[in-house]
Amino acid sequence: MTIADRLEDCISKEAVLCLMQNMESLREIRIRIGQPVQIVAGETFQAGEPVDLKMMKNMLLKLTDFSLYSREEEVKSGYFTLDDGSRVGICGKAACQDGKIVQLTHVGSMAIRISRACPGCAGPIVESMIHEDTLPSTLVFSSPGMGKTTMLRDIARQLSILGHQVAIADERHEIAACVQGIPGMDVGPCTDVMDGCPKGLAIGQMVRAISPEVLVTDEIGHHQDAEALSDAVRCGVTIVASAHGESLEALLNRPILARMLNEGLFKMLVQLGECPGKIIGQWRFQGNNWEGGQFQCV
């Protein structure tokens, strides 16, 4: 079922028509109460009547398969993932307790980011990786919406096809889009996926349980991720991860990422930008593991 089918009865016919016409290049759908539906597909379109409260409620129910309770934890964290890997970000009125969101009561806006497979897009990165004696741990970074997750998925798929045992810690269901534990996206024949589990927990468990050669994970940056990734690298596992950052300087300004980079946890950095999937920079780590070093532009 496409996103246009899912939203068919919830938004105006003009908006559905606009969605269907731009299905090929569709990247985002932004829905706000009181505003027409915004469709981002190369250029940005505004379509149909303004969305009202009832339409928003129907949309939320339909996108959660009329099972709001099953996505409650995800909704609390501000997003949930659809079966095809597309991510629905939510904003609204949050009820907080002890500094944590206990419920998101009134949803005021939604941003649906469309997930799409792009087989072969990671070719240059994989070529650089296999060129060396041992696969280098690699960090892909960019501003949001530049295709980091798509790139990770394709790196996993290509390395898996080459015969490497790949494990994916897919906390947000975005890389493999698993449904009941089975990947909905092509992630390769030698790939194991731990779906919906916090990265820190999943990485440790997968390293112990299934001995992967390559471990792929999305959007690192927390203290627990750093600990788990360091442990995995010490165990001899190659890490392929992504992080938000518009430049190498910006990455180095994030303390946890800076520590990981300075320790030489990642041997290769790849920056995406300008348009989704475009590689605009590549760096190699020069130095010794755990003792520090520098990244040099390739």
Partner 1 sequence: MRIALALCLVMGSTFIGQALSASSRRRVALLKNWILGVKMLRIHMSGMLETVDKALRMTDCPAMVQVSENMQNGQSAATAWQSLREKLCRHGNALDALKTSDREVLDNLFENLGQTGRSAQSMHLQSILKQLSDQLENARMQLSECQRLYVTVGFLVGLMLALVVI
Chain residues binding partner 1 by CB under 8 A are: 1, 5-6, 8-9, 61-62, 64-70, 72, 103
DSSP 8-state assignment for residue 95:
E
CB 65, min distance to partner 1, A: 4
197 vs 250 by CB, closer to partner 1: 197
**Residue 27 or residue 62: which is nearer to partner 1 going by CB?**
62
| In the complex, minimum distance from the CB of residue 206 to partner 1, in angstroms, rounded to a whole number | 22
270, 277 Cβ separation under 8 angstroms: no
164 vs 192: CA distance, rounded Å:
11
Tokens standing for residue 30: 């932004």
Q: Smallest distance, Å, CB 6 to partner 1?
A: 7
Of 35, 49, 20, 25, nearest in space to 110 by CA: 35
* Maximum pairwise Cα distance, the chain: 60
Shortest distance, CB of residue 98 to partner 1, whole angstroms?
Answer: 18
Q: Which structure tokens are listed for 204? A: 């440790």
How many Å apart are CA 251 and CA 258, to the nearest integer? 6
| Shortest distance in whole angstroms from residue 64 CB to partner 1 | 8
Contact residues for 209 (Cβ-Cβ < 8 A; gap 6+): none
79 vs 244, beta carbon nearer partner 1 = 79
Question: Which is nearer to partner 1, 72 or 127 (by Cβ)?
Answer: 72
State the first-to-last Cα distance of the chain, in angstroms, to the nearest integer: 43
| Residue with smaller CB distance to partner 1, 23 or 275 | 23
- Residue pair 140/241 in contact (Cβ under 8 Å)? The answer is yes
